[in-house]
């Protein structure tokens, strides 16, 4: 894919959430980072199609409640529950998954898991459990959540005749800024302060793509469809932490995009994940694929199709997560 095709969106799948998402009757949806930005917008658009329930997961329960109020102001009959979820704390992830599972009941279901939450270009730091903060939040926390909810996803796929179970992982084309090795496993249990913040971010976003590929590979026979999506360059508060940071490469393409009018709104930015979660026909989604807006297979990079690295990431991740999975 050439630069102009990438920037100007040739080959985009026509998609309007209001008209192209089918009725979501009986569906249960969980969205992380649902208190603002792309997550809240996704919840709003999905609520318009009458799912049985949407879980709004967020680090701040108060902000999740506020988002629920705003959504109900537009969709009065929206069925919403709020869920406290701090992805930088694996105890919090474990507690959230237990609540979702316990409240689902014996005939419960989870049809769409949208791994939307993330942090971007933050100062060097570590999670509560000792992982580099961006990798720990963007990948490790979501990996544990997915693992703990997999029995519910599989149950839904195998027990409900109307099931169309999907896991949608938010990533970014900034995965191209990952370090030369792709993922530096030896120092992930540190703050990796020897790297640019953007490099650490790219590493975490590469992990998102590889994780989606591995979920798709491992659960394709269980009825779970998994893809990763890049939303485009969206005007959300996620970008605020790095606006003062000196990383020229990251700003070069966005500068061109901005002057071409392609810095997109949250409403437009949510379209790719909504397409993947509910708009695309199941048979049109390539399992494990990485999509750019809207509905286009993303360009290959050095590592984003590396099956060996994806397998290594999976093994390393779940070795680290043993205290929370046994």
Task: Give catalytic residue positions.
Answer: 201, 205
Q: Taking a C-beta distance cutoff of 8 angstroms, is the pair 139, 215 a contact?
A: no
270, two tokens: 């949510």
Q: Taking a C-beta distance cutoff of 8 angstroms, is the pair 64, 56 a contact?
A: yes
What pairs with residue 30 in β-bridges? Answer: 55, 113
Beta strands (DSSP E) in the chain are 28-32, 53-58, 80-84, 112-115, 165-170, 224-229, 290-292, 296-297
**The tokens 């970008």 sit on which residue?**
239
Q: For residue 57, how far is the Cα from the chain centroid?
A: 12
Between CA 215 and CA 224 the distance in angstroms is: 8
C-beta pairs of 308-314 under 8 Å, 24+ apart in sequence: 309/182, 309/183, 309/210, 310/210, 310/211, 310/213, 310/214, 310/217, 311/214, 312/183, 312/185, 313/183, 313/207, 313/210, 313/211, 313/214, 314/211, 314/214, 314/218
């Amino acid at each position: 894919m050439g630069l102009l095709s990438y920037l100007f969106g040739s080959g985009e799948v026509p998609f309007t959430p209001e008209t192209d998402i089918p009725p979501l009757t009986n569906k249960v949806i969980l969205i992380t980072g649902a208190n603002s930005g792309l997550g809240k917008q996704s919840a709003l658009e999905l609520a318009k199609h009458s799912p049985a329930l949407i879980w709004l997961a967020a680090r701040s329960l108060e902000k999740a409640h506020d988002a629920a109020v705003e959504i109900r102001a537009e969709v009065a009959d929206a069925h919403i529950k709020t869920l406290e979820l701090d992805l930088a704390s694996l105890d919090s992830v474990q507690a959230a998954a237990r609540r979702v599972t316990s409240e689902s009941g014996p005939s419960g279901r989870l049809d769409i898991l949208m791994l939307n939450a993330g942090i971007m270009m933050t100062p060097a730091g570590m999670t509560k459990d000792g992982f580099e903060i961006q990798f720990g939040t963007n990948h490790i926390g979501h990996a544990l959540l997915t693992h703990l909810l997999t029995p519910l996803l599989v149950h839904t796929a195998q027990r409900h005749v109307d099931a169309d179970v999907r896991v949608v992982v938010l990533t970014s084309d900034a995965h191209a800024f990952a370090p030369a090795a792709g993922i530096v496993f030896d120092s992930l249990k540190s703050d990796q302060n020897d790297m640019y913040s953007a490099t650490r971010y790219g590493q975490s976003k590469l992990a998102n793509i590889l994780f989606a590929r591995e979920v798709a590979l491992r659960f394709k026979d269980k009825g779970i469809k998994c893809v990763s999506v890049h939303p485009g360059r969206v005007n959300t508060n996620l970008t605020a932490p790095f606006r003062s940071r000196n990383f020229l490469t990251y700003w070069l393409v966005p500068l061109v995009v901005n002057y071409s009018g392609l810095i997109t709104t949250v409403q437009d930015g949510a379209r790719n994940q909504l397409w993947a979660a509910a708009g695309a026909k199941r048979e049109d989604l390539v399992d494990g694929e990485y999509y750019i807006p809207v509905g286009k297979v993303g360009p290959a990079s050095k590592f984003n199709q590396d099956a060996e690295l994806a397998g290594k990431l999976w093994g390393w991740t779940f070795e680290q997560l043993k205290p929370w999975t046994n």
